[in-house]
Amino acid sequence: MSDDQFISIVHLTDLHLFTDLNSYLVGIPTNQSFQAVLTEVKQTIPKIDLLLLTGDLSQDCSAASYEFLRQSLDVASFPAYCLAGNHDDLNLMAEYLPSEYVHLVRSQNIGGWRILLLSSVVVGAVHGNLAESELAWLEENLNAYPDHPTLIAFHHPAIDIGSAWMDEICLTNKEQFWQICDRNPQIQAVVNGHAHQDFEQIYETAHNSVRCLVSPSTCVQFQPRTPQLIIDNQAPAWRHLRLYADGTITTEVHRLSSASFPPDLAANGY
C-alpha cells in the first residue's frame, strides 16, 4: 500500500523537559532523550504528516524548556500539535511554543479525518478531568462532522490501565466522556499519555468500538500493572499511527535504539 493512502502520525508524550540539557529526571537527561527520539523518528519513519504531543512537555515549567521544545520541533520541520499535561503551564506554552511548525490547535481536518485535542488538566492537580465546557465543545464539534472518522487526544487516560496508583490519577469523569463516545460512533481512537507506558484496549460502547492508545514517554517509563510507582527499565519511546480513509488504524510503539538512557531504577518517584 502506498504512503499517501494513510495519514502518518507520530505520538510523542511526557517529555518532561528542563531549562538545562544536563538536568535529569530519575537518572535520564530528558532534553537529550527527547532529541535522540526526534532524530530517530526522522530517520526511521519515511512519511510524517503530523507530530502529536500530549502533554507534560515541561518538567520545570520554565520558558526555556518550551523554547527548547519549539526550537527542536522547528528543526524537525513537521507540523506539530501540542496540548498540556499536569506539569505544564498553559500561559508559557501559548507564549513560547507557537511557530511556523508548532501549533496549539484544538481541531483539524486532515485526510478526511477529524483530530480533536482536549484539555484534561486540572490546574494544581496531578489527576485529570474534562470540564463541562470541554465536553460541550467536544460534542458540538462531533455534531458538526458526524461522518468523519475522529481521533481524540488529551493527556490523562480515559480507561483504567491496571496500576492502582496510576488509575487514581487518570481521568476522573471517564463515564461522561464515554457517554459522548457512545452518541458519536465516528470516534475511532482516543490517544493519551501520562501513564509512561504502552497500553492498548478496545472500549466497547453500545454503538461503537473505540481504540484506546496510551503511549510511553520520551524519557522515563513506569512498570505496568503495579500497585505503586515502580520505574521500568524500558527505553524512551514513541508511537506511530497510520489512519486510513475507511476509519481503520494501524499502530505500534517504537523504542529508541540509537542511544541508551538507563533510568535510576532505585528511584520511587519524582
Residues at the contact surface with ligand CMP, assessed by CB under 6 A: 56, 86-87, 126, 165, 169, 194, 229, 268-270
What is the chain's length?
Answer: 270
Nearer to ligand CMP, 72 or 192 (CB): 192
Nearer to ligand CMP, 27 or 98 (CB): 27
Q: How far is the CB of 11 from ligand CMP (least distance, A)?
A: 16
How far is residue 198's CA from residue 253's CA, in Å, rounded to a whole number? Answer: 7
Sheet arrangement for strand 80-83? 102-103, 80-83, 50-54, 6-12, 237-244, 249-255
Q: How far is the CB of 34 from ligand CMP (least distance, A)?
A: 14
Q: How far is the CB of 59 from ligand CMP (least distance, A)?
A: 8
Tell me, what DSSP letter sits at residue 5? G
Q: How far is the CB of 202 from ligand CMP (least distance, A)?
A: 24
CB atoms near residue 95 (< 10 Å): 12
How far is residue 56's CA from residue 15's CA, in Å, rounded to a whole number? Answer: 6
Q: How far is the CB of 93 from ligand CMP (least distance, A)?
A: 16
| Nearest position to ligand CMP, beta carbon | 269
Q: How far is the CB of 90 from ligand CMP (least distance, A)?
A: 15
Nearer to ligand CMP, 104 or 230 (CB): 230
How far is residue 120's CA from residue 143's CA, in Å, rounded to a whole number? Answer: 21
How far is residue 106's CA from residue 117's CA, in Å, rounded to a whole number? Answer: 5
Nearer to ligand CMP, 4 or 168 (CB): 168
Residue pair 224/197 in contact by the 8 Å Cβ criterion: yes
Instruction: Count Cβ neighbours within 10 Å for each residue of 120-157 and write b for 16 or more, e otherwise.
Output: bbeeeeeebbbeeebbebbeebbeebeebbbbbbbbbb
